[in-house]
Amino acid sequence: MDSKTNGWLNGFIGMLIFSGSLPATRVAVMDFDPMFLTAARAGIAGVIALVVLVAFRVQRPSRTDANSFLIAAIGVVIGFPLLTALALQHVTAAHSIIYIALLPLVTALFGVLRGGERPRLAFWFFSALGSALVIGFVLHDGIESASIGDLYMFAAIIVCGMGYAEGAILSRKHGGWQVICWALVFSLPLMLILAYALKPDTYSNIGQPAWLGLAYVSLFSMFIGFIFWYRGLAQGGIGAVGQLQLLQPFFGLLLAALILNESVSLAMIGTSILVVLCVFAAKRTAG
């Protein structure tokens, strides 16, 4: 397979892993404080990343890349996990998943601003159409009035798109798994301090689902998923591969239905087919 095809394959695997992030976070914040959850998931993933970097004797990145690693860490290690955890105290997982449809557009915009990419006009059309289809689906399916949770989710999408684009740029130089490892290690001292300071007074009232949610977001959402995602963005293009996230709301809603007993409608199936067509068209017109 050529580089772009590998990019789409890696991106698809990363997207599937990320699809479980919001349902798992929703379960975890039922018993864990959002601030502690954010620090704990980054701390756990950071320790794993440190072990991997030492085991493979990965050379440290140069100081010239320090600002880029800081931007990536703020976006995907701290910002998105914290803001979504705060949002999910106010809205359901299904409600929050609507905002994931905006990620491809935001990521592509940061790809233009930071990565120098220049997708064709047709790409922007299909990207916007795919986002509109997902938003229209959720609005048609029913959505509660706006709340502070919506503001948190909107901010989360902005910082996440920034972190995705910056990580993809770094991945061209350092490799996908090395970038998320260094971003996690960069944040590790602060996250460990915060996790200790914010730890619950007792763990006796923490249920097994919350522990499983913490385990998923720490190992898969915070570490393994990014190995595939950053590699995919670097290989296939930030704007192009980022379109795969138009599919994430539907996988996320399916998981929310299985885990949180939320319903899956026929409209979801029909809309997902149309979104797949938009993703395919965006891939063909990305340039």
- 93-120 tens-digit pLDDT: 877 887 887 888 888 888 887 767 777 8
- The structure's pTM equals 0.84
Higher pLDDT, 131 or 221: 221
284's enclosing H/E stretch is helix 266-285
Per-residue pLDDT averaged across 211-218, rounded?
97
Interatomic CA distance for residues 275 and 268, integer angstroms: 10
Share of the chain above pLDDT 90, in %: 46
Half-sphere exposure of 31 (CA within 13 A, CB side): 17
Please report the pLDDT score of residue 234 as a whole number: 86
Please report the pLDDT score of residue 197 as a whole number: 96
Q: What is the number of structural domains in the chain?
A: 1
Angstrom CA distances, 270 to 250, 258, 274, 283, stand at 11, 19, 7, 21
The pLDDT of residue 185 is above 90: yes
- Establish if 31 belongs to a structural domain: no
- Establish if 168 belongs to a structural domain: yes
Question: What are the residues whose beta carbons fall under 8 Å from the beta carbon of 54, sequence distance 6 or more?
Answer: none
Interatomic CA distance for residues 65 and 68, integer angstroms: 5
- By three-state DSSP, how is residue 158 classified? helix
**Enclosing domain of residue 245:** 3-21+64-183+222-285
Interatomic CA distance for residues 171 and 215, integer angstroms: 26
The pLDDT of residue 287 is above 70: no
Burial class (CB in 10 A: 0-12, 13-18, 19+), 246: buried
Please report the pLDDT score of residue 163 as a whole number: 93
The pLDDT of residue 146 is above 80: no
- Establish if 242 belongs to a structural domain: yes
- Establish if 52 belongs to a structural domain: no
- Establish if 156 belongs to a structural domain: yes
Tokens of 136: 């229209």
Interatomic CA distance for residues 70 and 79, integer angstroms: 12
- Establish if 87 belongs to a structural domain: yes
The pLDDT of residue 268 is above 70: no
- The C-alpha angle 254, 234, 239, rounded to 5 degrees, equals 65
- Establish if 214 belongs to a structural domain: no
Interatomic CA distance for residues 134 and 147, integer angstroms: 20
- Establish if 257 belongs to a structural domain: yes
Interatomic CA distance for residues 243 and 60, integer angstroms: 31
Put residue 263 in one of left, alpha, beta given phi > 0 → left and psi -120 to 50 → alpha. beta
Please report the pLDDT score of residue 92 as a whole number: 81
Q: List pLDDT tens digits, range 5-59.
A: 899 999 999 999 999 999 999 999 999 999 999 999 999 999 999 999 999 999 8
The pLDDT of residue 77 is above 90: yes
The pLDDT of residue 272 is above 80: no
Interatomic CA distance for residues 23 and 20, integer angstroms: 6
Q: Hey, CA dihedral for 79, 239, 100, 37, is it positive or negative?
A: negative
Please name which of 255, 176, 262 lies closest in space to residue 213, comparing C-alpha atoms. 255
Please name which of 226, 108, 223, 242 lies closest in space to residue 176, comparing C-alpha atoms. 226
Please report the pLDDT score of residue 142 as a whole number: 58
Q: Confidence band (pLDDT; 50, 70, 90) for 144?
A: low
